[in-house]
Amino acid sequence: MFSMEQKQHIANEIERLLLSLEHPEMPKEKPIFHLTVFGKEDWSWAEIKPNHTLGIDNPPTINLFNERLGKERKDLV
């Protein structure tokens, strides 16, 4: 569920929100979080992690169906 671009957008917004709370137990930058979003079907879910944690050692998972769907939705906007 969600294209890579959508996941990156969600991760950016979550990071922005977390940092804006200025909680004393939160780091000042690059918070770590792991969000699981469940869709309406058992097979529909997404893992959202901070963008700064993705890299060669931890590559993002890409689902071609979700990438196509994300592009189609972007074209409609």
Average pLDDT value over all residues in the chain: 88
Q: Confirm if 69 and 3 have CB atoms less than 8 A apart.
A: yes
Residue corresponding to tokens 């700064």:
52
Per-residue pLDDT reduced to its tens digit, 22-46:
999 999 999 999 999 999 999 999 9
* Between 62 and 53, the higher pLDDT residue: 53
Angstrom CA distances, 43 to 15, 37, 59, 70, stand at: 27, 11, 21, 18
Query: At residue 76, does pLDDT exceed 90?
Result: no
Place 74 in a pLDDT band, splitting at 50, 70 and 90.
Answer: low
Q: Which two tokens stand for residue 2?
A: 């969600």
pTM over 0.75: yes
Contacts of 14 (CB under 8 A, 6+ apart): 33, 35, 48, 50
